[in-house]
Amino acid sequence: MDQSVAIQETLADGEYCIIAVQGMLCEGDSRQSRLLGLVRYRLEHGGQEHALFLYTHRRMAITGDDVSLDRIVPVSRDFTLEEVSPDGELYILGSDVTVQLDTAELSLMFQLPFGSHTRMFLQEVARACPGFDPVTPDPEFRWLSRYRCTQLQSQLPTPHGWNSAPGTWPGCARIGGGRYPSRNGLWGLEEARSGAGSVLFGGGAVDQTGLRLAEVARGGGPLWGRSGRRGRRDEEVEEAGREMSAAAGSRERDSAGNSHFDDLRPNGKGLLVDQSSWGQDKPEDLLPRQNKSKSEITDMVRSSTITVSDKAHILSMQKFGLRDTLVKSELVQKEEDYTYIQNFRFFVGTYNVNGQSPKECLRPWLRHSVEAPDVYCVGFQELDLSKEAFFFQDTPKEEEWFKAVSDCLHPGAKYAKIKLIRLVGIMLLLYVKEEHAAYISEVEAESVGTGIMGRMNKGGVAIRFRFHNTSICVVNSHLAAHTEECERRNQDYKDICSRMQFCQVDPGLPPLTISKHDVILWLGDLNYRIEELDVEKVKKLIEEKAFQTLYAYDQLKTQVAAKAVFEGFTEGELTFQPTYKYDTGSDDWDTSEKCRAPAWCDRILWKGKNITQLSYQSHMALKTSDHKPVSSVFDIGVKVRNEELYRKTLEEIVRSLDKMENANIPSVSLSKREFCFQNVKYMQLQVESFTIHNGQVPCRFEFINKPDEQSYCKQWLNANPSRGFLLPDSTIEIELELFVNKSTATKLNSNEDKIEDILVLHLDRGKDYFLSVSGNYLPSCFGSPIHTLCYMKEPILDLPLETVRELTLRPLWTEDDGSQLENPMEIPKELWMMVDYLYRNAVQQEDLFQQPGLRSEFEHVRDCLDTGMIDTLSASNHSVAEALLLFLESLPEPVICYSAYHNCLECSGNYTASKQVISTLPTFHKNVFNYLMAFLQELLKNSAKNHLDENILASIFGSLLLRNPAGHQKLEMVEKKKAQEFIHQFLCNSP
Amino acid sequence: MAKKTYDLLFKLLLIGDSGVGKTCVLFRFSDDAFNTTFISTIGIDFKIKTVELQGKKIKLQIWDTAGQERFHTITTSYYRGAMGIMLVYDITNGKSFENISKWLRNIDEHANEDVERMLLGNKCDMDDKRVVPKGKGEQIAREHGIRFFETSAKANINIEKAFLTLAEDILRKTPVKEPNSENVDISSGGGVTGWKSKCC
* Residue, of A697 and A815, whose pLDDT is higher: A697
% pLDDT > 70, chain A: 78
Residue B182 forms part of a structural domain: no
Task: Give the pLDDT mean for A661-679.
Answer: 93
Statement: residue A319 has pLDDT above 70: no
How close is the nearest chain A Cα to the Cα of B22, in Å? 16
**B160 close to A (CB below 8 A):** no
Interface residue of A465, A505, A646 to substitute, partner B, most B CBs within 10 Å: A505
Q: How far apart are alpha carbons A670 and A731 in whole angstroms?
A: 10
- pLDDT for residue A215 is more than 60: no
Query: Nearest-CA residue of chain A relative to B8?
Result: A318
What distance in Å separates the CA atoms of residue A824 and residue A826, rounded to the nearest whole number? Answer: 6
State the smallest CA–CA distance between residue A626 and chain B in angstroms: 29
* pLDDT reading at A278 higher than 80: no
State residue A212's pLDDT score: 36
Closest CA in chain B for residue A442: B191
Annotated binding site of B: 18-24, 35-36, 40-41, 64, 67, 122-123, 125-126, 152-154
> Across the interface, do B200 and A416 touch by the CB < 8 Å criterion?
yes
Confidence check: pLDDT of A450 > 90? no
Strand spans (E) along A695-839: 699-704, 717-720, 723-726, 731-738, 756-763, 768-777
Is B197 among the domain residues?
Answer: no
Asked if residue A639 has pLDDT above 90, the reply is yes
Which pLDDT does position A649 carry in this prediction?
92
- Is B30 at the interface with chain A, CB within 8 A? yes
pLDDT digits (tens, 9 = 90+) for A180-214: 333 333 333 333 333 333 333 333 333 333 333 33
pLDDT at A908: 87
Any CB–CB contact under 8 A between A224 and chain B?
no
What residues does A98 pair with on adjacent strands? A111
**Residues in chain A closer than 8 A to B53 (CB atoms):** none
- Model pLDDT for residues B52-90, shown as the tens digit of each residue: 888 888 999 999 999 999 999 899 989 988 999 999 999
**Numbered ranges of CATH 2.60.40.10 in chain A:** 668-777
Look at the alpha carbons of A923, A926, A928, A930 in this order and tell me if their dihedral is positive or negative. negative
Of B3, B47, B189, the CB nearest to A662: B47
The answer to whether residue A627 scores a pLDDT higher than 70 is: yes
CATH architecture of the domain with range A4-162: Roll (2.30)
- Cβ–Cβ gap B1/A418 under 8 Å: no
Q: How many domains does chain B have?
A: 1
pLDDT surpassing 70 at residue A247: no
ipTM confidence? 0.86
Distance CA A654, CA B30 (A): 12
Asked whether residue A417 carries a pLDDT value surpassing 90, the answer given is yes
> Do residues A155 and A196 make contact, with C-beta atoms less than 8 angstroms apart?
no
Min Cα–Cα distance to chain A from B132, Å? 31
A641 interfaces chain B, CB cutoff of 8 Å: no
| Residue A632's pLDDT band (cuts 50, 70, 90) | very high
Distances in whole angstroms, Cα of residue A25 to Cα of each of A99, A108, A110, A371, A914 = 10, 7, 5, 60, 75
Give the Cα separation of A408 and A402 in Å (integer).
10
**B3 in reach of chain A (CB within 8 A):** yes
Residues of chain A with pLDDT > 90: what percent?
48
A187 exposure class (CB count in 10 Å sphere: 0-12, 13-18, 19+): buried
Is B190 inside a domain boundary?
A: no
Separation between Cα atoms, residue A395 and residue A772, nearest integer Å: 82
Beta-bridge partner residues of A735: A689, A720
By CA distance, what is A405's nearest residue in B? Answer: B200
| Residue A28 backbone dihedrals phi, psi, to 5 degrees | 60, -125
A448-457, A882-891, B47-56, B57-66: least confidently modelled range: A448-457
Contact (CB<8Å) A507/B195: no
A654 touching chain B per CB within 8 A:
yes
Instruction: Note whether B70 contacts A119, CB cutoff 8 Å.
Output: no
Looking at this protein, which amino acid is placed at residue A876? S
Q: What is the pLDDT of residue A967?
A: 65
Architecture of domain A335-643: 4-Layer Sandwich (3.60)
What are the tens digits of pLDDT across the range A705-742?
987 788 999 999 999 999 999 999 999 999 999 999 99
Phi-psi region of B55 (alpha: psi -120 to 50; beta: other; left: phi over 0): left
Least confident of A171-175, A793-797, B52-56, B125-129: A171-175
- B74 vs A665, A673, A770: nearest CB: A770
Closest Cβ–Cβ partner in B46, B71, B74 for A767? B46
| A879 neighbors A857 (Cβ within 8 angstroms) | yes
pLDDT confidence bin for A888, thresholds 50/70/90: very high
Q: Please count the other Cβ atoms lying within 10 Å of the Cβ belonging to residue A181.
A: 13
Query: Which of A83, A669, A768, A772 to mutate: most B Cβ within 10 Å?
Result: A768
* Type of residue found at A637: G
Q: Does A85 touch chain B (CB under 8 A)?
A: no
pLDDT, residue A770, reads 95
The predicted pLDDT at position A59 comes to: 67
Instruction: Indicate yes or no: CB of A505 within 8 angstroms of CB of B186.
Output: yes
Q: What is the mean pLDDT of residues A396-411?
A: 93
List own/partner pairs for A162-167 with CB under 8 A and 24 or more apart: A162/A206, A162/A207, A163/A206, A163/A207, A164/A207
Query: Long-range contact list for B169-178, CB < 8 A, 24+ apart?
Result: B169/B84, B169/B116, B169/B118, B170/B10, B170/B83, B170/B84, B170/B116, B171/B8, B171/B10, B171/B53, B171/B54, B171/B56, B171/B58, B173/B114, B173/B116, B174/B8, B176/B8, B176/B56, B177/B6
- Reduced 3-state DSSP string for A525-576: ECCCCECCCCHHHHHHHHHCCCHHHHHCCEHHHHHHHCCCCCCCCEECCCCC
Alpha-carbon gap, residue A53 to A143, rounded angstroms: 13
Q: Classify residue B177 by its DSSP letter.
A: P
Count CB neighbours of A47 within 10 A.
12
For testing contact with chain B, the best of A38, A75, A79, A417 (most B CBs within 10 A): A417
Interchain contact B39–A (C-beta under 8 A): no
**With an 8 Å Cβ cutoff, are A440 and B184 in contact?**
no
| Contact between chains at B1 and A125 (C-beta distance less than 8 A) | yes
Collapsing DSSP states into helix, strand and coil, what is residue A935?
Answer: helix
Confidence of residue B3 (pLDDT cuts 50, 70, 90): very low
Domain range for residue B63?
A: 6-171
Residue B128's alpha-carbon distances to B125, B132, B152, in angstroms, are 9, 11, 14
> Are B42 and A769 in contact (CB < 8 Å)?
yes
What does the pLDDT read at residue A872? 84
Q: Are A343 and A635 in contact (CB under 8 A)?
A: yes
pLDDT at A265 over 70: no
Query: Rounded to 5 degrees, what angle do the CA atoms A770, A776, A779 make?
Result: 140
Helix axes A973-988, A950-961, angle to 10 degrees: 120
Bridge-partner residues for A617, per DSSP? A631
User: Would you state the pLDDT for residue A48?
Assistant: 85
- Residue B163 within a domain: yes
pLDDT band at A379; cut points 50, 70, 90? very high
Q: So what's the pLDDT on residue A954?
A: 92
In this prediction, residues A678-706 reach a mean pLDDT of 93
Contact criterion met (CB below 8 Å) for B104 and B138: no
Residue A568 has pLDDT above 90, yes or no: yes
Q: Looking at this protein, which amino acid is placed at residue A213?
A: L
Residues of chain A with CATH 2.30.29.110: 4-162
B7 reaches A (C-beta below 8 A): yes
Confidence of residue A785 (pLDDT cuts 50, 70, 90): very high
Lowest mean pLDDT among A280-284, A564-568, A769-773: A280-284
What average pLDDT does chain B have?
Answer: 85
d(CA A857, CA A818): 35
Amino acid found at B177: K
pLDDT of amino acid A820: 53
Q: How far is CA A404 from CA A378, A397, A417, A586, in A?
A: 11, 10, 13, 20
In the A/B pair of chains, how many CB contacts fall below 8 A?
A: 118
pLDDT tens column, A129-179: 876 566 667 788 888 887 875 544 443 333 333 333 333 333 333 333 333
Residue A383: which residues within 8 A CB-CB, separation 6 or more? A353, A355, A389, A395, A397, A398, A401, A422, A424, A425, A426, A427
Statement: residue A552 has pLDDT above 90: yes
Closest by Cα among A237, A170, A242 to A210: A170
pLDDT greater than 90 at residue A895: yes
Q: B26 to chain A: which residues are within 8 Å by CB? A: none
Nearest CA in chain A to B9: A318
Q: Which residue of B has its CA nearest to A84?
A: B2
Q: Check CB contact under 8 Å for A661 and B48.
A: yes
According to CATH, the topology of domain A826-988 is Phosphatidylinositol 3-kinase; Chain A (1.10.555)
Which residue in A344, A444, A663, A618 sits closest to B182, CA to CA?
Answer: A444
> pLDDT-derived band of residue B197, with 50, 70 and 90 as boundaries?
very low
Distance of alpha carbon A309 from the chain centroid:
15
The answer to whether B77 faces chain A, any CB pair under 8 Å, is yes
Q: Return residue ranges of chain A for CATH 3.60.10.10.
A: 335-643
What's the confidence (pLDDT) of residue A740? 95
What interhelical angle do A210-217 and A286-303 show, nearest 10? 70
Residue B143 lies in a domain: yes
Q: In degrees rounded to 5, what are phi and psi of residue A132?
A: -105, 0
Contact check, Cβ <8 Å, B74/A665: no
Given pLDDT bands bounded at 50, 70 and 90, which one contains residue A823? confident
Residue numbers in B near A707 (CB within 8 A):
73-74, 76-77
A254 touching chain B per CB within 8 A: no
- Asked if the model's pLDDT at residue A69 lies above 50, the reply is yes
- The answer, for A115 touching chain B at a CB cutoff of 8 Å, is no
Per-residue model confidence (pLDDT) at position A976: 85
Report CB contact under 8 Å: A439, B7: no
Is the CB of A416 less than 8 angstroms away from the CB of B195? yes
**Which position has the higher pLDDT, A307 or A672?**
A672
State which fold the A668-777 domain adopts.
Answer: Immunoglobulin-like (2.60.40)
* Cβ neighbours of A81 in B, within 8 Å: 1-2
pLDDT band at A310 (very low <50, low <70, confident <90, very high): very low
Mean pLDDT of all residues belonging to chain A = 80
Residue B10 pLDDT: 93
Given a cut of 80, whether residue A302 has pLDDT beyond it is no
